Amino acid sequence: MRTVLRGGRVIDPASGLDVIGDVVVDDGVITAVAPSPPLAPEPGEVVIDCTDRLVVPGLIDLHVHVMPGLGDFCVGADEVGVDMGVPVVVDGGTSGVATFDLARRAVIDHPDTKTRVLAFLDPNQLYLATKDFICHKLEIANDDRNLDVDSFVASLERNADVVVGAKVRACWTTDPEVSPFLRAAQSALPDKPVMVHLGRFPHTPTISTPRLLTELRDGDIITHAFRGAGGMLTPDGGVIDEFRDAVARGVRLDIGHSGTDFRFRDARRLFDAGYLPHTISTDLNVFNIGGPVYSLTETMTKVWGMGVELIDVLAMVTVNTATSIHHEHELGSLAAGRTAEVSVLAVEHGAHDVSDGYETIGVERRLVPVGCLRAGAWFDAVGSSTRVPVAS
């Protein structure tokens, strides 16, 4: 079956493409991106009118929590995925090794899950992301008896088709300058990224920000990189040497908004110093889906409203994200021959307020999800007032 996304502004940051035209999908695979005038219709094709819409590679949210049942912290994969115009999400280390196979069957592989779900795996045997931080309250998140590197490696190998790296809470056990959890993850993953949580946890200590930055490798990811009191800024508005060196080494900066981990104030200072996000993600969970985060497109709007160019904002949720998780060969671009993961967005003009949870700023336009193709199947964004007409 042929589906045509017709007449939208097609932007593909991976190739630099920015044209008014059609995206053609045959049997779930992108076969052409054709500038206007539109291609001649074929009998039986489904046409989705994208006039005055943005047609972009399928958005990827690099940091969400979508394993309901492992504690009480998670939201539904489709709730923050295809229902928000986001065909691909990456769970940010909700699960440790011992529960991951169960969570995979319950969410990632479940026939009712329409969104493509990838995952970062916590290297601990037992880790659950819960509202009360139970693994920190019981102090097993900073107990090296919770590490079994052989079991961790076996899980990585068994789940290599969905696990894109590790998510580490860089707790220490006996030496405040050493996180055995970070070192275990890096040792087990010489060729995949380790995403680290920047910031503290209740009950369990973490290594200092300068030490953490020193330990990170090219391709590792700092999530919550633009939070308040992250320890990377100097009093005069500059950055500490360890941060500058880490970024120069190839460490990647991710928004990871969450309810308390993104601040316009600190982001402005880092932006002004030349340090932009490599990726935009949400850390969507039960605490923040009702605000201040709401959605990936709302988070993109905030970065756009801070003066980042639209094509760069789009790169931060498409090609940059795909590259960060080593899936650039299949995600993050509208290249012909790829499975059709495509997002359609509207730009709503007019004054809007957006919030980081502490500060509210005004923007003159915002991005709103219209829908997406996931493996070639169309999903309307739930609650969108900008749904597109579909004809066949």
Q: How large a percentage of the chain has pLDDT more than 70?
A: 98
Q: Which residues contact 309 (CB under 8 A, 6 or more apart)?
A: none
**pLDDT tens, residue by residue, 137-170:** 999 999 999 999 999 999 999 999 999 999 999 9
Residues 52, 47: Cα–Cα separation, whole Å? 15
Q: Which residues contact 24 (CB under 8 A, 6 or more apart)?
A: 2, 3, 4, 30, 31, 32, 33, 34, 39
**By mean pLDDT, which of 29-38, 72-81, 286-295 is the weakest?**
29-38
For the chain, give the mean pLDDT.
95
Q: Tell whether the model's pLDDT for residue 73 goes beyond 70.
A: yes
Q: Taking Cα atoms as reference points, which of 61, 83, 76, 58 lies closest to residue 381?
A: 83
What are the distances in angstroms from CA 19 to CA 56, 302, 343? 11, 25, 16
pLDDT band at 255 (very low <50, low <70, confident <90, very high): very high
**By mean pLDDT, which of 9-23, 37-51, 194-208, 345-359 is the weakest?**
37-51
Q: Taking Cα atoms as reference points, which of 281, 306, 310 lies closest to residue 293?
A: 281
* 3-state DSSP assignment of residue 161: coil
Identify the pLDDT of residue 236: 87
pLDDT band at 385 (very low <50, low <70, confident <90, very high): low
Question: Which domains are present in the chain?
Answer: 2-56+337-350+364-391 (2.30.40.10), 58-324 (3.20.20.140)
